[in-house]
A and B are shown apart, each in its own frame.
Chain A
Amino acid sequence: DGGITQSPKYLFRKEGQNVTLSCEQNLNHDAMYWYRQDPGQGLRLIYYSQIVNDFQKGDIAEGYSVSREKKESFPLTVTSAQKNPTAFYLCASRPDNRVRRNQPQHFGDGTRLSIL
């Protein structure tokens, strides 16, 4: 079955440490997204990529970095500059061509990041 795989499901970060969250999709989708979800808040966009080797900052990109070297993969690094990283992180993908413009985003099952 096609889908989006996020790993690990749970992750703990020490002070001053960078951590990387994995996101892999086999849906052949062009666009990929990273969101942060905090209790009582709507999802907020961190970064997105519409094509390989290109990505754009979202609303809350500070303290995060991404890469898009392959169509299937869009890893997110939470750097030590992100002072409040505890949250649920969701990766999503979507076909990004004119014919399938109204297709919904497909989400992975998330990674919960906590501070040690």
Chain B
Amino acid sequence: KNQVEQSPQSLIILEGKNCTLQCNYTVSPFSNLRWYKQDTGRGPVSLTIMTFSENTKSNGRYTATLDADTKQSSLHITASQLSDSASYICVVPYGGSQGNLIFGKGTKLSVKP
């Protein structure tokens, strides 16, 4: 069964600290994995797309990793800011169509001052 599972479900950290969010997937065949950030009451915004051949990709303070062998991805946030408080969603296409996506339930991150 095609699935995307994220952990932890929620996370609270202090401003300035680092954190890592996890995503495990069982989608096959695999082509790419996406991380989105969703602020409360807003639509998700794409942070990064990892293709099969990519191991690490950075977008500012966000660094995503992908291990296609173990079917795991992580999103590392460095020097967190209050504006990082949001839900982070892992997404994987399935069925050979880039439009059909499986969404994880997300990790809700709260950054406290």
Assembled-state Cα–Cα distance A43/B102 (Å): 8
Contact with A along B1-39 (1 / 0, CB 8 A): 000100000000000000000000000000110101000
Q: Nearest chain-B residue to A90 (Cβ)?
A: B43
Assembled-state Cα–Cα distance A33/B34 (Å): 17
- With known contacts A42-B4, A42-B105, A43-B103, A101–B45 Cβ distance under 8 A: no
Contact with B along A55-93 (1 / 0, CB 8 A): 000000000000000000000000000000000001010
Q: Name the interface size band of chain B.
A: 20 to 34
B105 touches A94 (CB 8 A): no
Contact with B along A34-66 (1 / 0, CB 8 A): 000000111111001010000000000000000
Interface residues of B (CB under 8 A from A): 4, 31-32, 34, 36, 41-46, 49, 51, 89, 98-106
Does A102 make an interface contact (CB < 8 A)? Answer: yes
